[in-house]
Structures are given as C-alpha cells and as structure tokens.
Structure 1
Amino acid sequence: MERKLEPERFKLCVIDDIKSVVEMVSRKPPWQEYGIEVAGTALDGEAGLQIIRETRPDIVLTDIRMPRMDGLQMTRAILEVLPDCKIIILSAYSEFSYAQEAIRLGALDFVKKPFSLEEIVNAVLKARELCREERQETARLAVMEARIRESLPILRQEYLTFLLHHQTTETDARSRWAYLDIPLDQHDFFVFVAEIDHFAEKLGGQPVQEVELLRFSLHNILEETISAWTRGIIIREATDRYVCIMNGSDPETAALITEACCTNVSRFSRHTISIGVGLGTAAIQGLGTAYRQALSALGYHFYTGGNGVFHYSNIENKPLSLHSYSAAAEQELLFALRSGNSAKSLQVLEQLFAELLDSGLWPEPRYVESVGYELSSRICRVLLEQFPYGQVEPLELRISALKNQMHPSLQDIRDLLSWLCREACALVTEARSLESTRIIRQAVEYIHSHLDTGLSLEQMAKQINLSQGYFSNLFKKVQGISFQQYVMHEKMEKAKAMLISGRQVQEIAQDLGYEHRRYFSEVFKKYTSMTPSEFKLHYIGKE
C-alpha cells in the first residue's frame, strides 16, 4: 500500500488584551479543517512573546495596543526570532497609523476593528497560503542543494578541467574554488598526466565492466599514493588517461610522488603507466600552462616505451637543433630496396635512425613519428614503380594500422620500417625469381628444339639477350646445374630414347649435332658408362 502523505499543519497564536476576543478568534472558526492548529493564546504582549518563543508559530494574530508590550514592539521582537512568521495586526480606525508602521516593520496584514470572524479567517488563510508557498520553495531549494552536494565531485572535476584548458581571472577562480569546496589549497600546484601503457592492445577486446574496473582500480592507487604525501585531485580525462592536480612547490617531492605512482600501479596491478610532469605553478591561472607542459613531457615516452616518469624540466631549455638524416642515406636505402637486398636495407635503416637521433638531444616525438611515416610512404612509392597496387596494399594497410594506434612508440615506428624493408625485398626477390624462371624456361624450350645444333653458351646468351656470365649464373641458379651439363643431359637422354626405338647410332649422332659417330660414342660412354651398342644390347637384347 502507498503511504498517505500527512496533511500540512500550520500553527497560529492569538494575542489580545480582551479575553472575549481571544476566545472567539481561537475557538469559533473550524481551524482544524483548514489545517491550522491554535498553538497558544495570551492577553498581553510579554506573555504573548513568551508563548511565541516556545511554540514558534507560523501565523500570529495580535492587537496593536496591549499592556506591557504593544503590537509594534511585539512585531519587532517576533521577526527577530521568527523572520518568516506571518503577523496579522488587529487595529481600530484611530490606530491606523500604528498599523501602517507595523506593516512597514514587516507585518503581513491588518484587520480593522470591529471585525467579523469571516474577515479574520480570510486573513489567516491568506497567511497560510503564503506559508505553504514558502515551505514549498524551501523544500525545492533543499532538494536542489542536496543535488548540488551530490554533484559536487563531478562539478569540481568539470571546473578543474575547464581551468586546464581556459584562462580565468583570479577573483572568479577563487570564488568558484570556494563555492565548489575544492579540497586543495589555492596556491602552489603541480600537474601531471598519467597514461595506461599499451591500453588498446591489452584491453581493446575486454568487456566494458573489466575496463571500468581497471580504471577505477588505477584511480584509487593514484589517489592513495598522492594522499600519503599531499592533497590531490584525480581527473579521468580519457579512457586511458588521468590528470592529477596536487599541491606542492618542491620539484624533488613531486618527482618522488610520481615515481611512487608508477611503482604502485606496477606493483598492485598487471599494468604500467607513463607519467608526464609539468613545472610547478604558484597560482590557479598557471594550471593550464602546467597541464600543457605535462602533455609535452608525456609525449617523450615515445622513446622510452612507458612505465616511467618524464619531466618537462628535462626538455624545457632544449636548444633548437635540426634533426635529420642525409639524403644520400635515404637514396641508399631505396636503392637497396629496389635491388631486393634485405640485409643492406636494414643496415641503412639503422644508419638513418642513428643520424636522426644522434645529436645528444631527443627531437620532438611527433617529428620523428612523421619522419617514420614519410619514409614508409616512400618505400611504398618505390614498390609501386615495379608492382601493381594490389601487391603493395597490404604494406599500406599495416602503415594505416599503426597510424590509428594510440600513442605508438619509437620502437613501433622502427619495427614498422624494418618489416616494410623485409617485405619489400621479399617482393622484389620473388618477382626477380619469377622473371628468372621465365627466362630460363624460355632457354630450356630453345634447347629442346635445337638439340640438333652445337648449342654453345655464347649462342644461348645472345638468343636470350643476356651476357654470358649473367646467363650462366642465372641458369645454374634456376636449374641447379650448369648450361653445358644440362645440354649434355638432354642430348644423352634423347639418344637413349632413340637407341631404344631402334635408330642407328650414325643417324642419332647426326640428329644430335655430332659430326662424327666416334665422338658421339665417346661422349655417350662417358655419360652412361656404356657404348651405344652396349646400351642397346643391355636394354633391348640386341645390337
């Protein structure tokens, strides 16, 4: 069953120096039906004020002229104790100026004597409605205040996030800081940004509940670690990133706190974090600058791979220097790729990175990342000179995958380029192998159709349009034996078949390009360890 709401009740006090008036006003109207309770009555001002203090009524009916304390004095006294009390003055016409003064002091209304009960009831009900409206407004404000209190943690985080990205005046900042009751001193801050290492790779396929549990756990570890040293607030800036604003002015202490955060996350979870720390700032207005410094410092984990702290002070005064590599080294890399020399291309790639990074100072991470992607694109362009897009597309997809990865490291870039070099050289080598096979297949077909000729290496190379040396090496690489050995093998195998078919030795020698039967027989015996006649006798039983 639903619980019925209790009807609203309002308290009324009646004060007049005429007893019959008090009794009539307090007893005759059906006050209970109107939700009004007569809390007390009195015949003079002092007694009336005492009852009012004890019962704390919502509405007071009082005469303007009474012994010991008149209505004006009582009005002042009541409103000091109960500023929301509704006071209705009972006044004769000759006392109208007093009633006006009472209204000016804060009384709600007055009823002129002589009066009817209906006039009294109407005045009291009017006062009751005002009391009800004020109660409702008070309740509404109480609900709003409760909601604001519940929302304070979110409102604080939203305002602090605003301060990290926008400028504000000191006056406004201090005012909002106090209103939101932010639990930090309003001076001396450090800002650091913490990022979960390899978040996408480790948690990309995990259920939302698991990811949220991890984020909550790391949030608590950071909060507890900082609270052991100073005051701090953790803001969840992104799925894999936290921002911390903490009080402090000593850089060494800030370094110890952030190192402890890294250590504790690694110790109490299966994950690690990277932290970038900005310079200290004395004022609230400096939080945005400190935050941007922390982000810059965080970017340098591109070189370390994570699980550590990097301070903006390490790069703050870094002189501007040109980080690059020689055009000759790049051309050498591309030449190695065109020639399919994997070992050489990897060696030159290492040389490129040595030139890029060997200045004693790490260049801006985004610059190195862009150089890596530009070099990747050039590798693909070199391949497109020789291959259709379909064969190069898998390499471009690998590049796009890394570009879409959150916060790739220097090692990721180097691994990508090394893989591209190996794949590019494999494509070139495979294509060259296929071309070599095609050329040698063409040579073999020519050999088979010209076994009746001398078939010299010089003649064959000229036919294929290659140098003798290159053709000789290529033939042996593809066929596994030298050109001369292959020609001899094919002629002798054909001679065997012709002998078995009954052909004469003289005839076979001529068909295979031998001018003299004797020379053919010598070659045949050297190849088979039998003379043609012995071979024929051995296989078909007759010469």
Structure 2
Amino acid sequence: MNRVITMVVIDDITTVVNGIAERIQWQKYGIAVVGTAFNGDEGLKLIQRTKPDIIITDIRMPKLSGIEMVENVVSILPDSKVIFISGYSDFDHAQHAIQLGAFDYVLKPFMPDQIMNIVFKARDLVLQQSEQQSNVLEMERKLRESMPLLRQEYLSLLVRYHSNPQTLKKRWDFLQIDMKEESLAVHILEIDQFNHTNMHASIAEIELARFALQNIIEETIHASTKGIVFRDGINRMVCMLNCSSSEESLEIAEKYCDNIRRYTKNSISVGVGMTVDHIVDLPLSFQQALTALSYTFYTIENSIFYYGDIAQILPVEGSHYSEEKEKELIYGIRSGNVQKTNEVLEGIFAEWDYLEQKPTPEKTKTLYLQLILAIDKSITIALDQNEEQPIAQFVQELNKLSLNVRDIQNFVRDICDKYCVVFQGKQQVEAEITITKSIQYIKDHLHINETVNDYAKQVHLSSSYYSNLFKKVTGTSVLQFVVNEKVEKAKLLMVQGLSLSEVAEAVGYEERSYFSDVFKKKTGITPTEFKQQYVMKK
C-alpha cells in the first residue's frame, strides 16, 4: 500500500475523539490521523486545512451540526468519505446525511471493530477511486504526449495516400491541425551530408541538431503563412503549408534555407511540389516534391528544385561514351596503370557532367551502372574466381537514396583503382615467376658468355622490358647480377682446387687476364691473392 490515507475525527465528546483517534493503531493499516476537533466550526476549519480522505464526525455538535458541515464538505472535498457517529434518536438525521453523500454511519454506542470495519471500507474505496483517477490522468497524459506522434503518422499517410474527403476532414479536426484545407503545397527537405557530418555525434547531439532545424523552418513558415513540419526519416522532413501560388511557396523555401545556413552549421536541399487546391490532392504535391528533390543528385547540397521547372525539361536520351574510350579504360586497368585509368575515367565523367540538359537521376545511375558492367565484363575474364568482385557492392550502393553523382563517381574510381591494384599484383607475381626462371637459366649457363638480349629471348621479352623487369624484381641490373654470380662461382671452384685457367673458362671468360681484372674489381683482390688467403691456408 503505497499511499497513506488521511483521516480526521470530530465530536463534541472528548472520550469519543480520543478513543477513535488514539486507541486504535491506524498507522498499521495505512491510515494517518491528521487532526481532531470538538465542534462543527473547528471541524470545518480542520477539514479545509488538511483536506482528509476520511472524515469521522458526530451529527449533533455545537456551533455547526454534522449535517451542516457535510453540506460544506461536499462542495470542498467531493471525494472525501464521511462517516457519521449517531445516536438512535438521530437516525432520521443520519438518513438525511447519507442522502447528502455521506459514506456510512455508526450508531452509538459502538465497539472499536465496528468503526474499524467501516473505516477500512472507506479506505479501500478511496484507494480504488484514486487508482482509477490516476489511470484516467495517465491515459490523458499519454494521449497528450502521443498527439504529436499521431499527428506525424497521420500526416505521413495523408501526403502519400488518397482518402475520401469526409474521413480526411474528421481526422484533420481531431488532430487539431491549424491550417486551411485549401491552397496547399508540399516541400520535402533533406539535411545535406547528414551521415558524414554526424558520424561521431551522440544521439542527444543529433536530436538537438534536428530539433534546431525543425524549429527554424517552423518559425520561418509561421512568419508568412500557416504550415506544419514533420519528420520523415532520420535526415528528412516534410513541410505542408498554405500558399496561394508557386512563387510564394518558393520564396518561403528560400527564406528557411537562408536562415538555416545563417544560424546553424548545416544546409538543406529542398524539393518543392506544385500548389494543390485541397488536402485530398496533397499526395500529388508530395510526389512532385519527391521527384524534384531527386535532382539534388547533381548539385550535392544547398539547393532548391521546383517540380514546375523540372516538368518543363524535355526528356534527355541517355548519353554514352565512345568505344575507344572504353577500350582505353580497360587497357589502363589491365595494365595496372592507375594514372592512365584515372585520366580516361575523368574524361568520361566530364562528358556527362557538362550536358546542357541532365537526364533523370535514375537514368544517370543507369549510365554509371552500364559503365561498371562494361568494365566488369572485360576485366573478370582475367581474374580468378576467388578474387574480389566489387560489382555487387556497386549495385547496392546505387540503391541508396542519399547517394549523389559525386558519391557514385568516387565509387567508380575506387572500383577501377581496386582493379588496377589487382592487376599490379598479378603482374608482380608473373614478373617474379619470369625472373626466377631467368635467374635459374643464368646460373646454369655461367660458362657461356651471353648478353642481356640473349637472356631476354629465353623468357620471350624485349631487351629493354626484360632489363627493367629484372631490376624491379631483384633490385640490381642483369649484368651486375651475372658478374656477381660468376665471381661467387669462381671462388667456389678455386676452393675446390681448379686452376685459374680452368676457373676462368668455367665462368665464361676466354682470357685469364680479363677474368682477373673483373675478379679484382669486384672483390678488391686478384684470384691469385684469393687462393693464397683461402686455398693455401686450408
């Protein structure tokens, strides 16, 4: 029992008051005696001061009778429970008191159990009524709190789906929407770069930023006309406003865009639908605003598009790039040449960026998808099945609503860069295999005096490409490598006891003197000195 029930005792007989108030341990039953009085006048003042839940009073008292006091109490505390103490001769008065709203009565003389049972009944009724009242208040509170949510949910449906005028009118009035039902337009507002800007923000910071933006928009609109703004996703809001013309609608949009840039760190993009005659036509204006907003795909941020302007643009047939540029792009990727790939790619992007009349955003997305499919078709033939295929991820990215043309271009760049890296890796592996094969050939043929061109022919490469590839893989030139290998083999042969002439011939030198010069240049000592230092000591 969480709530303590308060009670007062009023009687002109002291023993009755003390017997009820002091001899029964009311606190054990969740009841607190908050005062006593010995006549009706004092009793009324006590009741006014303490506002008790239960009042125990005698009917006959000096100055003010119990009946008169009840009449006053009913008007002051209509929910208080009044229990009368009455003698048999006062029965008629007690009946009258009951009619006035008294809870019950006890005939004198009475036992403590009698008064306790009646008080307990009054206590239970007070608690029951209190709980019921709390439930009603809680329901009313929840209704008040949920009214904005109900309004938002209704408005979200209102702008998307058609309904009959009678139903719309009924709900419009129930939700207390303070707008005219005629001459309306829909704006759809999107917070620019929302995900990027709030990447590291807390929920409280994000909510505060959205609240500030909505507040600025509402104040700007209400300065000119009636309107309502509601959220339609984490970074999008929908605005319905009364306006007599498209010029007025656009002027209001420009004002709140300016105010947001002036008073916050954010900017917004807006799609403006055409003005409609009645609320039943709001879905038309909403769809127009949604189409207009999609054209921020080209401008990225801080822009206003009006459907009436877009509707006047003639449909543009899809642009394309030349087959020659596609071949250049494929060649750049397969050669692992990032710089060349990016140059061709930027040329293709420039062609599409500078079209006088833009295709619809969906058409432009299709163009970029066709470009990626063309790349994928030519590239995947040369890739292993277990290597990364980013085309599926690209298709998923295209379906994101917040994506703009720069995002797509960056994604295409990333895909081409990834492919270039893959082919660079493949080329590195192929180069290492080729040079490893060539090194083995050189080691097996040190006795033959061959040129770089001879080694290149063994692996079917041009002399210049072979030289560059050899140095890239080994970090040294072909001739330096050959000389090093010949000198190391010569040392091994001398240790094994071969003569200098035999050693020179074994490493491809016809003249012993030339071999000696090469050996000394490489090691700092002559072959003879080497033999003296290592072979003789051994």
Give the alignment's TM-score, normalised by structure 2: 0.67
Check conservation: 2:316, 2:358, Cα contact below 8 A.
no
In the TM superposition, what are the counterparts of 1:426-437 in structure 2 within 5 Å?
426-437=421-432
The answer for the alignment partner of 1:103 in structure 2 is none
Max Rg structure: 1
Question: Is 2:342 aligned against 1:346?
Answer: yes
The residue that corresponds to 2:231 in the other structure is 236
The 2-side partners of 1:302 and 1:427 are apart by 31
Give runs of aligned pairs for residues 150-165 of structure 1, distance below 5 A.
153-165=148-160
The 10-residue stretch of structure 1 (499-508 or 340-349) with the greater mean CA deviation from structure 2? 499-508
Q: Which of 263-272 and 341-350 deviates more?
A: 263-272
Give the match for residue 253 of structure 2. 258
Checking the alignment, whether the CA contact within 8 Å between 1:384 and 1:392 is kept in structure 2 is no
Pick one of 445, 448, 451 that aligns with 2:446. 451
Change (3 A) 1:147 1:472: closer
Residue 339 of structure 1 aligns with an amino acid whose one-letter code is S
Match of 1:33 in 2: 98
In structure 2, runs of 5+ residues without a counterpart are 6-52, 55-76, 82-91, 103-134
**Which sits farther off after the overlay, 211-220 or 476-485?**
476-485
Pick from 220, 225, 228: which aligns with 2:220?
225
Partner of 1:360: 356
Contact 2:320 2:367 in 1 (8 A): no
- The Cα shift of 1:145 comes to 9.5
Aligned residues: 422
1:464-490, Cα deviation, whole Å (9 max, x unpaired) = 244445434422443344434432332
Q: Which residue of 2 aligns with 1:130?
A: none
The corresponding residue for 1:134 is: none
Aligned to 1:508: 503
Answering whether residue 405 of structure 2 is matched by residue 410 of structure 1, we say yes
Matching residue's letter, 1:197? D
Deviates more, 1:347-356 or 1:493-502: 493-502
Instruction: Provide the rounded CA distance (Å) in 2 between the counterparts of 1:150 and 1:454.
Output: 95
Kindly indicate whether residue 172 of structure 2 is the aligned counterpart of residue 187 of structure 1.
no
Q: Percent identity?
A: 35
How many Å apart are 1:152 and its aligned residue? 5.5
In structure 2, relative to structure 1, the CA distance for the partners of 1:262 and 1:179 (3 Å cut) is same
CA separation in 1, counterparts of 2:247 and 2:397? 36
Q: Report if aligned partners of 1:275, 1:308 keep a CA contact under 8 Å in 2.
A: yes
Relative to structure 1, is the Cα distance of residues 523 and 264 closer, same or farther in structure 2, using a 3 angstrom cutoff?
same
TM-superposed deviation, 1:231? 1.0
Secondary structure of 1:161's match? helix
Check whether the contact 1:200–1:406 (CA below 8 A) recurs between aligned residues: no
Aligned to 1:337: 333
SS in 1 for 2:185: strand
Change in Cα spacing, 1:514 to 1:211, as seen in structure 2 (3 Å) is closer
Q: Which residue of 2 aligns with 1:216?
A: 211
Relative to the length of structure 1, the TM-score reads 0.67
Are 2:352 and 1:287 equivalent residues in the alignment? no
Q: Which residue of 1 aligns with 2:490?
A: 495
- Assess if the C-alpha contact under 8 Å between 1:498 and 1:508 holds in 2: yes
Decide which of 293, 306, 317 is 1:298's aligned counterpart: 293
Deviation at 1:336, TM superposition (A): 1.7
Deviations 1:323-379 (A, max 9, x none): 231351333322221121211211121222233343212221233234434544554
Q: 1:278 to 1:503 in 2, by over 3 A?
A: same
Measure, in 1, the Cα distance between the counterparts of 2:139 and 2:426. Answer: 75
Tell me whether 1:197 sits opposite 2:192 in the alignment.
Answer: yes
- 1:189–1:282 CA contact under 8 A, matched in 2: yes
Offset, 1:164:
1.0
Asked if the contact 1:383/1:392 (under 8 Å) is kept, the reply is: no
Report the Cα offset of residue 171 of structure 1: 5.5
Distance 1:428 1:34, change over 3 A: same
SS state at 1:165 partner? coil
The code of the aligned residue for 2:351 comes to E
Gaps of 5+ in 1: 10-26, 38-139
**Residue pairs, 1:13-412, within 5 angstroms:** 30=95, 32-35=97-100, 153-170=148-165, 173-174=168-169, 176-178=171-173, 180-203=175-198, 206-326=201-321, 328=323, 329-376=325-372, 379-380=375-376, 382-392=378-388, 395=390, 399=394, 402-403=397-398, 406-412=401-407
Measure the CA separation in 1 of the matches of 2:161 and 2:218: 25
Q: Structure 1: how far apart are the matches of 2:174 and 2:511? A: 116
Measure how far apart 1:200 and its partner are.
Answer: 2.9
